[in-house]
């Protein structure tokens, strides 16, 4: 009887377990970037930019996919990336304005 109860409890624990680990903080997602760079990357080499907002455990993460397939994590404090993000946002605003006028 006790082994059956133990097996049932273990099974329930496995069912309730999510991908974050048995005793991990349920509010803490895993960080994508182990290390970041502040080095300038030519925007012509960037295929896409993904921004992950900060969580309880991870700061804001900026992940660039380069045209050569390389993935680079950029330090959000790097001045060049903030300038690039501002330029992209201004272009998006201009495109929305032109779409509404048409």
16 within domain boundaries: no
Q: How would residue 75 be classed by pLDDT, with cut points 50, 70 and 90?
A: very high
Kindly tell me if the per-residue pLDDT of 57 is higher than 80: no
Residue 15 lies in a domain: no
> In this structure, is residue 34 part of a structural domain?
yes
Question: Is 13 domain-assigned?
Answer: no
Q: What is the pLDDT at residue 42?
A: 95
Give dist(CA 89, CA 85) in Å, integer: 6
Q: What is the mean pLDDT of residues 65-93?
A: 93
pTM exceeding the 0.85 threshold for the entire prediction: no
Q: Flag whether 5 is in a domain.
A: no
Please state the domain count of the chain: 1
pLDDT at 22: 46
- Residue 93 belongs to some domain of the structure: yes
Would 36 be classed as within a structural domain? Answer: yes
Question: Which pLDDT belongs to residue 3?
Answer: 67
CATH of the domain at 89: 2.40.50.40
């Amino acid at each position: 009887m006790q082994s059956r109860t133990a097996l049932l409890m273990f099974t329930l624990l496995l069912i309730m377990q999510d991908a974050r680990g048995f005793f991990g903080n349920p509010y803490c997602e895993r960080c994508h970037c182990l290390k970041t760079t502040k080095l300038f990357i030519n925007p012509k080499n960037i295929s896409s930019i993904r921004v992950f907002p900060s969580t309880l455990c991870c700061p804001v993460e900026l992940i660039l996919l380069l045209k050569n397939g390389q993935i680079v994590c950029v330090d959000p404090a790097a001045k060049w990336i903030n300038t690039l993000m501002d330029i992209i946002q201004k272009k998006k605003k201009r495109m929305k304005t032109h779409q509404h006028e048409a």
